[in-house]
Amino acid sequence: MAISQDLPGDFSGQLNALIERSTTTCFLNKVQWEHLAKECGDEIYAEALYRLSRLELTPAEARDTVQAILQHQDGLCQALGRTVSLVTAMCDYFMQVNPMLREPVLVEVNLLRQREENAYKDELTGLFNRRSFNQEIPREMERFRRFGHPFTLLMLDLDHFKDFNDTYGHSAGDQALRDIAQILGETARLLDSVVRYGGEEFAVILPQTTREEAVGVAERIRQAVQRHSINFAGQQLPAITVSIGLACFPNDALDMASLVQRADQALYQAKVTRNCVRPFSDHQRTHTRYTLSDPLPLRLSNKTDEIFAVARDISFGGLLCDSDKPVARTSAIDLVLTDSVLGIRLPVKAQVNRVQAIGDGSYQLGLSFQLPDEDDQKTLLALIEGRTQPVGYCFRAENRPGACS
């Protein structure tokens, strides 16, 4: 596993140096580790621990574990009166102090990397496989939470591939899959992840890519596939076309299952026409709304009045709230999204899109806003995740008719 590309270069280099020297005389003390974590986030502990032991822990768990190992290493050095390497201290810690490894095996690192690489590659196409996909999506989600970089998932399916196989044979179909994989690899950027998702379906993870940028990438892929003729057994076979659906994190979903589901829904819409690109859309609003488990108190301010309201659901483009006063449509509103428990305070400038009387002298207000700033998007994501009810790994999304975005 490579060090995450989003780590600052100096600290990524320090971590690489740490791994290289870990079997000999590496001494990065607790203060130096904390300095790395301050710059790179606690994921630095998880990355290092995985590199050294192949244990997968949460960043918080990895931080506590690494600090415990450093303390154990210091104790061993004092007791033995000699230098004890980090790997030696780690092995002793995991075997004697905190038994997390039952039967560790010594293996040459290059051999280990080769075997791991094979485990994450598709044998036919050489692309990453589903196992790699299931690890990379959560990593991109974590990068957004830390750095505010959105990403987009493309789901691609070859059109009429069964007919192609029936007409030209499965060996020709295999060649077509290899050709498509090559096109995807040549079209993708170095930081993109291209995956054979299964059968004739592929996926492309586009880090730091907005919806508009992703549509452009998907269209280039579609055109490149359409122009390509498949050469098999000395024959020029007809070109295959591809349908592409895409969904964006966090605008379309806040968890992996929902993101894949929405990219699949977009792909289903693309398959109706075939040989086209379709972004996810729920046809009700621009952004998916999330129901808040606890109502969020709000204070709405305009030029003439201050109104108290309670938000019931929220998205990256707006919110729905209840108020005891009506507000004129198209009014400009200032509000602050606040959660003292989560330590969140996010000032927002919004516009009133909808006003509806709901009885008992109350009104339902639909407010829309835009958050172009990445730090504001990170803050809103933390608020939504902290105030939504998870179902398994999925956050509950409610598509209620009439809600604004």
In this prediction, residue 13 carries a pLDDT of 58
pLDDT in tens, the chain (405 residues): 333 444 444 455 566 665 555 554 455 677 777 877 777 777 788 888 887 887 888 888 888 999 899 999 999 999 999 988 888 888 889 888 988 877 776 666 666 666 656 677 999 999 999 988 998 998 899 888 878 889 999 999 999 999 999 999 999 999 999 999 999 999 988 889 999 999 999 999 999 999 999 999 999 999 999 999 999 999 999 999 999 999 999 888 888 998 999 999 999 999 999 999 999 986 555 677 788 888 899 989 887 888 899 998 898 889 999 998 888 888 999 999 998 888 899 999 999 999 999 878 899 999 999 888 888 988 998 898 888 754 333 333 333 333 333
d(CA 145, CA 143): 5
pLDDT of residue 237: 93
Which token pair is 198?
A: 């299964």
Contact in structure between 372 and 253 (CB atoms under 8 Å): no
Specify the pTM: 0.67
Residue-level pLDDT at 332: 93
* Residue 130 burial (CB count, 10 A): 13
Nearest to 214 by CA among 241, 240, 178, 249: 249
DSSP annotation string for 220-263: HHHHHHHHPPEEETTEEEPPP-EEEEEEEETTT-SSHHHHHHHH
The second-level CATH assignment, the architecture, of 124-279 is 2-Layer Sandwich (3.30)
Cα 178 to Cα 287: distance, rounded to the nearest angstrom: 36
Burial 253-274 (b: 16+ CB within 10 A, else e): bbbbebbbbbbbbbbebbbeee
Q: Which two three-digit tokens encode residue 242?
A: 């591809």
Q: Where are the domains of the chain?
A: 9-118, 124-279, 290-395
pLDDT the model gives residue 347: 94
Q: Which residue has the tokens 């574990």?
A: 65
> Residue 72 half-sphere exposure, CB side, CA atoms within 13 Å?
20
Query: Residue 114 has what pLDDT?
Result: 64
Q: Architecture of 290-395 per CATH?
A: Beta Barrel (2.40)
Nearest to 328 by CA among 309, 354, 303: 354
Q: Which helix (H) or strand (E) holds 294?
A: strand 290-301
